[in-house]
Amino acid sequence: METRTVVPTLITQLRALQQLTQTEAQIAKVRVGQARTDAVRRELQQNAANAERRTERITDELRRVGGVPDVVTPAIGRVLALVKSTVEQGQPLDEALLGDLTLEHQLLDRARYVRTLARRAERVSTERLADDLVTAHEATVDWLTTVLAEEAMGGVAALVATPLQRVAGGVTRVVSLPTRFAIERFNQAVAAVSRTGEQVRDGAEDLAREASATVTRLGTGAREVATAGRDAALGRAEQVARRDGADDTAKAVHETRRNLGTLKASELPVRDYDELNAQDSIAAIRELSTPEDITAVVTYEETHKNRAGVVSAAQTRFAAVAKDEAGV
């Protein structure tokens, strides 16, 4: 590329970065509402603020390079973010995150291209900006890759699906059924425990959630009764499966109980967990090394004491395990 054509190309790329960065900032704000813990929420809020600052830096650099100030592009970025957040409600969470990752890769690749153009045009300030953008987007790519790995492992991911995304992903199925019929369907699914493995886990978990969703409309008392019945039925189903030697089925039901947070304290991978204070609980969680063990503890914690610091520590530990799994 001839030197005389570098600056116009540089201006074009900076404008593209301005628009995409504005979109990134808006999406980060949307993700704040999906944060699992306060620590993740604060991180996302900081990410959104950082993206806004990057947009301002890019705009300033555009002026220095000779580009005409663009008042339309930021508005386009906000519209694109709104469209993306609306469309993705019909997608599973992993598809939404893959969309975020695609955006970050485009930002990263364009920042690297801008850095090369800036060197060619001998624009020191633009090159410095591009270096900072590359560093920021590399970190975000790693973070999103880790969250996707968390989602793949089925544990305590940093982000949680919205209700519509849970439906789209097949995690829950909300139906309008009388309470008695919903619970009866659940009991029928559990009764088949000696004949099925994977089918029982999916059916039992879905139907358990159907029963819970139905009784939510009938008041706290009915909800507690139904939940207790569900937990007892699952516990009994696992006992029967183990007694009959149906190990795969027992494992499937155990996973369902773990994911619902209905394991007993004696079944957790941390001894005497209920007796531990927050500091000791966090220390014990940091010693856990498998996604299954971390998930078991954090779902139990969330459905019992629900101590924010402990849940946050568990999510951080799960993220570390996910990073190793994803090779980040």
Burial of 221 (0-12, 13-18, 19+ CB in 10 A): exposed
The whole-number pLDDT of residue 155 equals 65
Burial of 219 (0-12, 13-18, 19+ CB in 10 A): exposed
Residue 35 dihedral angles phi and psi, to the nearest 5°: -65, 140
Half-sphere exposure of 23 (CA within 13 A, CB side): 24
CA–CA separation, 113 and 105 (whole Å): 12
Element of type H or E holding 283: helix 278-285
Judge contact between 10 and 54, C-beta under 8 A: no
Cα dihedral angle (258, 259, 260, 261), rounded to 10 degrees? Answer: 50
For residue range 235-247, what is the model confidence (pLDDT) as tens digits?
Answer: 777 778 778 888 7
Burial of 241 (0-12, 13-18, 19+ CB in 10 A): buried
Residue 189: other Cβ atoms inside 10 A? 21
Strand spans (E) along the chain: none
Amino acid letter for position 1:
M
Name 257's bridge partners: none
CA-nearest of 231, 310, 309 to 264 is 231
The pTM (predicted TM-score) of the whole model is 0.59
The whole-number pLDDT of residue 215 equals 46
Total length of the chain: 328
Question: What residue has token string 């519509």?
Answer: 164
CA-nearest of 85, 117, 87 to 16 is 117
The whole-number pLDDT of residue 68 equals 65
**Full pLDDT tens readout for the chain, 328 residues:** 555 678 999 999 999 999 899 889 888 888 888 887 888 888 889 989 999 999 999 999 999 998 765 555 555 555 555 555 555 555 677 788 888 899 999 999 999 999 999 999 999 999 999 999 999 999 999 988 988 888 888 766 677 665 544 544 444 333 333 444 444 444 555 555 444 554 555 555 555 555 555 544 544 444 455 556 666 777 777 778 778 888 777 777 777 777 777 788 888 999 999 999 999 999 999 999 888 888 888 888 888 888 988 888 888 888 888 888 777 7
The whole-number pLDDT of residue 135 equals 96
